[in-house]
Amino acid sequence: MSQALHAVILAAGLGKRMRSSRVKVLHEIAGRPMIEYVVRAAEESGAERVVVVIGHQADEVRAVLGERVTYAYQEEPLGTGHAVLQAEEAVAGATDVLVLYGDTPLIEADLLRRLIAGHRESGAAATLLTAELADPTGYGRIVRDERGAVARIVEQADAGPEELAIREVNTGIACFRRADLFAALRAIRPDNAQGEYYLVDAVRVLREMGRPVHSIKTDEEAAVFGVNDRVALARAEALLRDRIRQRWMRAGVTLIDPGSTWIDEDVEIGPDTVIYPHTFIEAGSRIGAGCCLGPGAHIVASRLGDRVRVWYSVVEESEIGDDVRIGPYSHLRPGCRVEAGVRIGNFAELKGAVIRSGTKVNHHSYLGDVEIGSGVNIGAGTVTVNYDGIRKHKTVIEDDAFIGCNVNLIAPVRVGRSAYVAAGSTINQDVPADALAIARERQVNKEGWVARWRQRVRGE
């Protein structure tokens, strides 16, 4: 007999406790909406189909998850049990149904696979994932009978003092035999403090139906952490960031000060890269091996080669080759492509700049919409005048050219191969290869002028 597994993720609730105009499951941790983490864990757990129950801001959730999942609609958030019922048709082909909550983003596929395997081995109608927490506040408590079997789950709002003292909680994650799940859900009633159809009541109903309910207890507190308000959101962020940092340290990356190092999910970092304090690496970034980032590096969706050094600088949506040095205090805005061995020094701003290997931009420059060849020297204070108030224009500087200090390059303009541009020039015509361009007032020295002037003024 085939044992099809489908997953149902609940994401239709309002998330009132977030006090937000945005649905809870789209709040981000480590740079990505919570719901994405849950979907990924469900996919990796082996579920053939992932059904997300949406309702509140359904379109926004769909826009984030797209076609990768199947959707079921819950028109009104009448409770978690009611939400699962809305997925009945979508999971009709399943033998077992894995239920997950969209607000439990730290769940990992390994733990889910353990739950599913345990469920299948025992042949139970339902297998709950439970956890023993130091502080169980807010979670449903697991009430066991005299033989230690799960009798029912009591929500915080419905619990008496004895039940509130129970530290074993319902994580909300459970695996059900499909037929038993929906039979039980049809029998639950909203007769509780919140007037909702509680999924957890299915446990009591299954027991009454004589169907066995099992449980698997985890000690991975972080993995089952549920986010209900912004305090918990910050805690989830901290837990996840910690997990990400540990993953990279185990993969051979040195974090000098893990606490001040922020690494998003969807980042890759090569071995022997060393990261100094106050460094941020945002989603979509790929960092090579042997790099040295920070202090104070901020990398956004960029690709860095091997042995790149970035300190006190920002690099956004750019591609950086091997052995490049950036900083201190430089800003690479989106669209830069910097080849191997380039040096971008103090206080440089680059945008849409293609810079070929071995070129130096050592000090105080603005280079926008430029294509710069290899072996070029850009003097301090070089500015591309790329904007005429309406349009942007391009500057091309060919290989081995030398741009003196304080040069304005009024685009569109081209400086030919090996040409020199004299310091202080304002260039508005192309410079031929090997030429020297000087575009500044000639200097005049007036001999003896100071003495004559003093005499006139002071009457000396």
Q: At what angle do helices 201-208 and 178-185 cross, to 10 degrees?
A: 100
- Closest C-alpha among 327, 360, 332 to residue 346: 327
CB 114, min distance to ligand UD1, A: 18
Q: In the annotation, is 278 catalytic? A: no
Please report whether residue 155 would count as binding Ca ion according to CB under 5 A.
Answer: no
Residues 262-301, one symbol each (x = binds ligand UD1 by CB under 6 A, - = not), give ----------------------------------------
- Of residues 82, 363, 364, 393, which has the active-site annotation? 363
Collapsing DSSP to helix, strand or coil, 424 comes out as: coil
* 176 counts as binding ligand UD1 under rule CB under 6 A: no
Closest distance to Ca ion from the beta carbon of 80 (Å): 9
Name the phi and psi angles at 456, rounded to 5. -65, -45
How is residue 326 written in tokens?
């950036």
Residue numbers 47-106 binding ligand UD1 by CB under 6 A: 53, 74, 77-80, 82-83, 101-104
Token digits for 348? Answer: 């440089």
Pairing of strands 303-304, 319-320: parallel
Which of 342, 322, 318, 347 has the alpha carbon at shortest distance from 332? 318
Q: Which does 342 bind (CB under 5 to 8 A by kind): ligand UD1, Ca ion, none?
A: none
124 binds ligand UD1 (CB under 6 A): no
Helical spans, DSSP H, in 360-409: none
The answer to the question of residue 226 lying near Ca ion (CB under 5 A) is yes
One-letter amino acid of 280: F
Interacting residues with ligand UD1 between 183 and 222 (CB under 6 A): 198-200
Part of the chain binding ligand UD1 (CB under 6 A), chosen from 166-174, 286-294, 421-429, 440-448: 166-174
- In this structure, are residues 445 and 428 in contact, taking their beta carbons and an 8 Å threshold? no
Nearer to Ca ion, 24 or 331 (CB): 24
Q: Does 175 bind ligand UD1 (CB under 6 A)?
A: no
12 touches, from ligand UD1, Ca ion, none (C-beta below 5 to 8 Å by class): ligand UD1
Interaction between residue 11 and ligand UD1 (CB under 6 A)? yes
Of 226, 296, 381, 416, the one binding ligand UD1 by CB under 6 A: 226
Instruction: Taking the CA atoms of 105, 106, 110 and 112 in sequence, report the sign of the dihedral they define.
Output: negative
CA 430 to chain centre: 44
Tokens 């739950």 found at: 115
Under rule CB under 6 A, residue 42 binds ligand UD1: no
Does 381 participate in binding ligand UD1 (rule CB under 6 A)?
A: no
* Rounded-to-integer distance, Cα 208 and Cα 222, Å: 33
Interhelix angle 109-122/34-44, nearest 10 degrees:
50
Instruction: State in angstroms the smallest separation of the CB of 107 from Ca ion.
Output: 12
Phi-psi region of 180 (alpha: psi -120 to 50; beta: other; left: phi over 0): alpha
Does 13 contact Ca ion by CB under 5 A?
Answer: no
13 binding ligand UD1? (CB under 6 A): yes
Kindly report the backbone phi and psi dihedral angles of residue 215, in degrees, each rounded to the nearest multiple of 5, phi listed first. Answer: -150, 155
Enzyme catalytic residues: 363
Binding positions for ligand UD1, rule: CB under 6 A: 10-13, 25, 53, 74, 77-80, 82-83, 101-104, 139-140, 153, 155, 169-172, 198-200, 226, 228
Interface residues with Ca ion (CB under 5 A) are 103, 226, 228
